[in-house]
A and B are shown apart, each in its own frame.
Chain A
Amino acid sequence: MATTTSALGGAIRRREDPALIQGHGRYVDDIKLPGETAAAFVRSPFARAKVLSIDASEALAMDGVVAVYTAADVDSLGPLIAQLSFAPRPLLNGGEVKHVGEAVAMVVAENRYLAQDAADLVFVDYDPLEAVIDLKDAHSDRVIIHEGSESNTIISWAAPFGAEPEDQQAVRDQIEADKSRDDTVVVSQEMINQRLIPTAIEPRRVLAEWNPGYRSLNVWSSSQIPHALAGGIAVSLGLPTTSVRVIAPEVGGGFGAKLNVYNDEILVSWAAQQLARPVRWVETRREAANSTIQGRGWVGTATIVGTTDGEILGYDFDGIADMGAYTQNFTVAIPFLGLFVGSGQYKMPTYWKIDCVATNTTTTDAYRGAGRPEAVYYLERIIDMYAREIGMDPADVRNKNFIPNEAFPGAVSPIGFAMDTGDYSTNLNELLEVADYAGMKAERDAARAAGRHVGIGLSSYVEVCGFAPSGLADLGFNWATYGLPTAFNGSGLVRVNPDASATVIIGTGPSGQAHQTTWAQIVSDRLGIEVDNIVVKHGDTGDSPMGIGTFGSRSAAVDGAAAYQAADRVREKAAKLAAHLLEAAEEDVVFADGGAHVAGSPDSSVGWGDIASIAYQVHKAPEGTEPGLESEVFFTPSNATWPFGSHLAMVEVDADTGNVEILRYVSMDDCGNVINPMIVDGQVHGGIAQGIGQALFEEAIYDADGNLLSGSMVDYPIPTAGDLPAFELHRTVTPTDVNPMGVKGIGEAGTIGSAQTIVNAVVDAVAPLGVTHIDMPLRPRRVWEAIQEAR
C-alpha cells in the first residue's frame, strides 16, 4: 500500500480566497440574528481606584436601553479563573479597579449607537489610589498592587530549568569567576523589550444566543481557542460544556490577542441568557488596545563573558517581565516560553532568570512569538555587542558557538531542554552565501567611506513550537480551569463520503493561516483524493473533535499530524476494500489518481467512489466490515519542535534626522518540511513585518498615571507598505522527527528572527559615531538622540 500522488510541497492557490476577495467572508460581525441587542462597556479612566458607587439611572431611563449590569449582578459567576492564573480578573469590577480600561459596568441596548450613548450616561464615582506603572518601581514592592500579596513579583522562572537553586547559582558563580580571567572580556547591557499591542485588523467581536428550550448557548467569537472558550463559558455559567457551542468563523487576525477567554465573552453570553435575546459586542480599537491583552514588556540585563577569540564561556540574563494588572491565559507562561530558548542554539553555560511582576497596566499575554522574541532579542543583541568588542565578525562568533551537528540526535540545550533536530551552521552559512555577505560588507564599507551611515545586522534564532507533548500538561499547559482537563493534543477527523468526496474536521482553526488549503493538501497526499474534492471544516465546537487552538506555531505540527494519521487509518481500511474489489492482496494496493490499483497494473483500478460505495453498503464488502469510512485521531508528539534560522538586514541611517531605511532584508528559515511554500512564505513575510514594527515603530506608551497614550492606530503606528522593503526569503530543510510529516511550524519564526536583526543593523550603522545600543523602537528621534549623546 503506497500513495504515489503527493500534494505536499505544492504552492497551490488558497481555497479560502474566492470568498474573501469578493467580500463574502463571514466574520462575527457579519452574522445577524433576529432580535439582537448590543452591548457596550463602561471602563475605568483610572489605573487604580476604589469604585465608590455607580449610578445607572439616567442610562436606564433612556429609550432603547435594555439593561445595565454591574459587579453585584455578576458576583455569583465568580472571577475569571484563567489558566496559570495567580491574579484572577473580576468579570466586572466593583471593588478596586487595577488598570485604565477595566470594565466596571455593561450596558445592553437595542443597537450599538444607543448602547454607547447609554454607557456614556453611567456615572461612576471613583476614589483614585496610587498606581504603579513603571516596571522597576513595581518590582521594588514600594507599593503592593494586589491586596494580600507580599510582593508584586507573582512568580520567577530560572534556568538551567529543573536544576536545584544551588546548581543554578553554581552556573552563575562560574560565569562570575570567568569574568576575572585575564583572557576574557565581559560585555553587559541593560535593554528594554518594549510593550506591544497585537493589533489584529479585526478587533474582537462576540455574539451570543441563548435557547431557553434547549438551555443551550450559541456563541460566535473571533477567537483562536473556541473549545477552551466553550469550556470557560460553561464553567462560569454553570452549564455542561456540551450546552455551549462556540463558533469562530472567519477570524480577522489573532497574533495571540484572541488566545484568551475574556470577561466580555463570559458577560455577553450571560446577558444573552438573562435576557433571552441575542447580545452582540463589538470591540472598539481603543478597547482592543487597553482591554484586550498586550505583549512583551521586559527589562533585563544580558551579560556575556568570552575569550578574545570568540568562545563564549557563559551567558547570564537577569530580567523582569511586566504582567500588567491581572494574569490571564498564558500571562506568566510567556516569560517561561522565553526561558525555553534562553540559550538559543548555542552551547555556552547559561544562567537565565526572570521575575514576573504585576503593574497597574493592561494585562500582557501571548503576542506573536510570546516570550521567544524577547529572549532571543537579548541573546542576539549581546552576542553582537560581544563580537564588536573583540573585533570579530558576528557570523564567525555565532558559528563558533553553535551546538554542533554531532550533538543530534539527543542534543540538550544549556537551559536544560532536549531539542529535536538542528543544523545551525549550514543554515547560517547558506544565508551568508545567498545574500552575498562579503559583497554586502564591501558595499557597506564603501558607503561609509562616502560618508553614509550604512549598517549590516545579523541574527540567528531558535524557537520552540508545537508546544503539545502531553507531559507539558503538568506544567500548566492544559485547559483544566475551563473544565477540560486535556493536554495540548492535536485532533482531526477524516471521512470519505459515499460520493467519494472527503470531509476533514479539525479541532483547530485559522486566523489567516489557510487551514482549508493546508489540511486538504495533507489529506490529499495520504489518500490521493483531489484537493478540490476535500472539504475542511473548522472553528465550530459543535461538530469538531476537542481541539486546542491555533497559537505557538502548533497547528500544522500537531493538528496536521493528527489529520495525517487519521487519513492513514482511512487508507488502511480503504486498502482492504480495494483489495477485495481488485481481487488482489492488500499489500499490493497502490493509491493514485483518485483511486487504487494493483501495483504494476494501473489499468486495473477502482475509484474512491467504488471503495466508498462498498464501505457504506457492507453486504458487498468482505465479511465483518464495519460500515463507514472515517477515522478520528488525537495526536501527542514526543517533544516540541525547535525551528531555527538566520536573518540578515542592511539599513541606512540618516544621521541628521535619525531616520532608518531598510535597504535589504534576507532570511534563511528552517521549519522542517514545507506543506505549501507559498503559505509558508506568507507567514514569514508577516512575521518579519511585525518584528520590524517592534524594532522601528511600535510601543505601548503609558504616562505616569497609567493612561495609555498609544491607544489608537494613529498613536500606535504599525508598519505600512511604504515602511517595508521587499523581503528575500530562503530556506534550509531539517525535518523534525517528532511528527510524521517532519514539519516544525512557521507562524512566529519571522517575528522571532527580525527585531534584533534590524537593531543590530542600525547599531552597526551608527557604531562609527560611537553608539553601542539604542532601545526599541528606533524611531527617528530616538536614533538622533543616541547619535547626539555619542557625539
Chain B
Amino acid sequence: MITTINQEVVTVGVGDLKVAGIPKILKTSLGSCVGVVLYDNVIKVGGMLHLMLPKCKDRNGKLSKYADTGIPLLIDLMVKRANANKRNLTAKIFGGARMFNISSDMFDIGKSNILETASILDRLGIRISARRLGGTKGHQISLDTNTGIVQSRILGEPTVKY
C-alpha cells in the first residue's frame, strides 16, 4: 500500500506493509515477527514490512505475512510504485523475539523469521545496514522517512537510533 493520506504517523499492522515518502513516520510493534525497513536515501522513500512467518509454502492469503514473498513485494512496490532505485535501497531489520518459553529451536518462530529475512535480503542484493534482533521482549520501531533513521524501543531498555 502506498500512503498518500495526509497523516504524519502511519502504522503498519501485523502481516502488512506500507510505503511512504516525506514527511511520514512509519511505525509498528513487533514480537516474534520481524520488521523490515527499506529506505532509498536519494528520493527519501521508506517502506516497512511486518512479517509473521518465514515461508509462504503455497499457503493462501496475504503475501506480506511471509518473508519469502513479503520482501520481494515490498521492493517491487518501492521500485515500481514509489520510483525508488533498487540499487539505493538499504535494509534495517528488527524483532524476531522468542516470545514463548520453549526449549526447542524448531519452534522458535522469531529465530526462523530472522534467518529467512537475512537470507532473502542477501539473495536479492539488499545490504543490511542495521539490525536489532532477538531477545524475549517486543520491539517498537519507527522510521522517519525524512532522515531514514529508525528509532528502536524495547521496554526497559533505552531507545536506540539506527
A and B bind: no
